[in-house]
Chains A and B, each alone.
Chain A
């Protein structure tokens, strides 16, 4: 196995190697770096060292020639004849990436009655739509969708392929990536093109939102990523007209290893928090019918929606479509007001991109305060009624 070692004659103990290591495999002891067992020979420390003290017998992996792979693709997810918001968000981002690569954007539309959706895809930024229409694609199934998309990828060779990190996307993307032989980065929150290498920089939270990691995919194409709904911004619609390419679903007898017997939605209108301009989030500090009544009123007076932490959903104070966070929804409202919310990382992972953040908490050390624009240290049962009464007078 190749290894990385330190030439201590050259080392000045600056510690940059330890800082750079994404695996915590370089430890500084008494001002001297040591390479620990968990070293993966990723060689990032070599780049960090200004004095050439880090050495390796690793032979650099050669990057294959990918010049035939072009363009940015977006998987267009839709439901009941409407495009999902994530598809539009991805098209917006895809345009930005394609411009930097001087390339075009294509959307992939699978289903049995796609026609009404073609124009909206152009309007949202697609230069081209690849459409596969077939009754067997009416509902999403892993096998049929993977098969169709893999064929398109192999035929047209996109450089980048983006898929929403939705229930469908998370089922589809890993399977497809494995089939076409591509690396895949999950749940990205930022995407950009590296100006030097021209590759896709994929940034995502890791360790429950405690760190951000930037990941690249140098050795395979397409560069695939799933993206969380609600984190990218849509483009303003433009009355564009693009090219429509019709494709067939090949292979007559799709194997039906998994059969959908029935699907049903839950009673009542499920709300989409990603559309709310103002969100009032309830945490365990508001866990009483009185507390929720107050926050509901506050949300109403600001024209916003009530949401909550996982604790509030687990204790059944709120339905699960109102959970914000790592295992709930990602939101980016203009205004987020967290009341009685401690601000655990898993919660912050879903709301940190809000434009303005307000915390109301009894505890001055609650982590939410450290990401808030304005904080009120106090009892929400006293503060919120005052807020409601002032708001009712001023607006």
Chain B
């Protein structure tokens, strides 16, 4: 246990890096990390380096696993099962299928035209940006394993429940008709060699880093500001655990916003440190990742307003419920 906890602290929480940057800030910049300025600079450098190291290692490892589950294969696997198990599998496959919001429409059309139930496709589309394998490890690094696992479980639950409700509502008529007209091609699957998979994983690392680096810098910047410059009394007055409206505010701010989950983590870290409830922070993170204006605008191309609003309503209600639930039992986690 001693060894595991040491590995956890050094590899996941990177205490060696924390010390190293402390030495840099104190000896080279001549600032004390307990001061405001020194503390902000320390938080910023340490968090940026930590997230980039973890992200590179994680994306590489995860992309290697993902190369076995391209969306074409997911489509075939999901086509074989029915009912709620299909929603559960859809949500699970969502976590490991390589995905970026720019491919949500082709995947939606591909799945739907292959005859997959609408609800299963939605379970997949909800879990895909929300629960990412890399985000689990990062959550464990910033908070702890219990919080990471809780996040995953409620994220998957949200995807399964929302998808199942959409299935039950029989909303197929609210999909733009051209989606069904497409013939579903079964493209030839190419066999990948180990080298192909390594090449794919390397490309994924550089693609994802190029796509998310700015969100991470902005996120860590906001985190550093919350950490050291915004008075705690102000934050707790708006988002404090005892304020019933804190979860609603987190949802209203988080839902239209678009950022990668990796950019939201440093903000979450700083908010927790300032005494904001775990539930409020989870609502914010889930709102940012699961729903955003760009993805809604894209989805509008393939589904009619009634289905779009149902989807937004279900997911929003879900993340607000999750927020209140975790605020009530948050003391068990942090």
Q: Do A and B bind each other?
A: no
